[in-house]
Amino acid sequence: MIKIILGVAVSIMVAGGGVGLIAQQAKPGDMLYGFKTSINEKIAGLFVTGYTAKVDFEVDLLEERLQEIDELVKEGKMSDEDAVLAKAKVVAQLEKAAAKISEAGNMSLTAAERGRVSASLTRLQSALAKYRSSLNTLDEAVVAAEIAKPSLKKGKNGGKSVAATIADVSVGIEETASSTLDLDIDISEGYDEPEEGVSDESENASDDSIEGEEIEGDEESGDTTADDSNGTTTESGDGETTIGVDSSVEVEADAEVDTTVN
């Protein structure tokens, strides 16, 4: 975290002293959280140069998002809006970090540079493993929030869980690690399996909906079948009636009545 701390120290001096310093402790839902992510971190990024330093910086920011989520979960005071905001921020940072890491595949890196990027990837893997429980809790909270308040489910990442995002970005990151850095990592371990309890509510709701549609469809079709000791009567929606008696005689009756009114 050294790079981001030094960068933020510079941003604080530029952005306004005390406010920048206080904002650095903010979490999703806090008044100064927007200042932290839009001012402090943006300015800090301007002072980061060189590919490996930028990879370090993006992983630093991802660790910051993960720590924020962990603190929110442990405090147990996360509102629906806070959960959705926290998820949006960590998903966006995951995608930014993955995009920056993937650039290594198109670059000629020295052995030292490959070593630094490898160290950043190892750090990323450790952070995702460390905060896995908190991220799964966040995903569950977001699902509940979006069910309770559908208006919260918006934007390009609406409805997409953190676990699903990790599984998606892991493909490119792990390929780059293997082909460019000769590094074998699995950053999606524990995330590419369905999260327990996350989809239960939505699946149950879907099952209820399907069952209701089937019942309604049967009622609309008007198809009925009645069995008794003397035979079977089948009536279809088009008016045709077939009667079976003693399983040996079938009589099909089609009634056509033409009525002319003068």
Using a 10 angstrom Cβ sphere, with 0-12 exposed, 13-18 middle and 19 or more buried, the burial of residue 116 is middle
Using a 10 angstrom Cβ sphere, with 0-12 exposed, 13-18 middle and 19 or more buried, the burial of residue 262 is exposed
Q: pLDDT tens digits for 201-210?
A: 444 444 444 4
Clarify whether residues 185 and 131 are in a common domain: yes
Beta bridge partners of 233: 226, 243
The helix, strand and coil proportions of the chain, stated in percent and rounded to the nearest 5, come to 65, 10, 30
pLDDT at 8: 54
Q: Which is higher by pLDDT, 233 or 115?
A: 115
Mean pLDDT of 163-177: 93
Residues with Cβ within 8 Å of 182's Cβ and at least 6 positions away in sequence, in order, are 114
Residue 254 has pLDDT above 90, yes or no: no
Phi, psi of 233 (to 5 degrees): -115, 125
Clarify whether residues 39 and 12 are in a common domain: yes
Q: Which is higher by pLDDT, 239 or 18?
A: 18
Residue 30 has pLDDT above 90, yes or no: yes
Clarify whether residues 63 and 165 are in a common domain: yes
Clarify whether residues 120 and 16 are in a common domain: no
Clarify whether residues 41 and 56 are in a common domain: no
Clarify whether residues 82 and 162 are in a common domain: yes
DSSP summary character for residue 171: H
pLDDT at 7: 53
The number of distinct structural domains making up the chain is: 2
pLDDT at 191: 78
Residue 248 has pLDDT above 70, yes or no: no
Clarify whether residues 66 and 128 are in a common domain: yes
H helix or E strand, kind and range, residue 135: helix 132-148
CA atoms within 13 A on the CB side of 145: 23
Can you give the residue range of the structural domain that contains 17?
1-47
Q: What is d(CA 139, CA 34) in angstroms, rounded to the nearest whole number?
A: 22
pLDDT at 3: 53
Residue 252 lies inside a defined structural domain of this protein: no
Mean pLDDT of 28-40: 92
Q: What is d(CA 80, CA 142) in angstroms, rounded to the nearest whole number?
A: 7
pLDDT at 10: 54
Residue 246 lies inside a defined structural domain of this protein: no
Residue 184 lies inside a defined structural domain of this protein: yes
Q: Which two tokens stand for residue 23?
A: 């904002």
Q: Are 98 and 172 in contact (CB under 8 A)?
A: yes
Secondary structure (H, E, C), 1-54:
CHHHHHHHHHHHHHHCCHHHHHHCCCCCCCCCHHHHHHHHHHHHHHCCCCHHHH
Clarify whether residues 39 and 63 are in a common domain: no
Q: pLDDT tens digits for 130-162?
A: 999 999 999 999 999 989 988 887 765 566 789
Clarify whether residues 87 and 23 are in a common domain: no
Clarify whether residues 131 and 179 are in a common domain: yes
Q: Which of 64, 28, 73, 66 is nearest to 44 (CA)?
A: 64
Residue 202 lies inside a defined structural domain of this protein: no
Clarify whether residues 35 and 145 are in a common domain: no
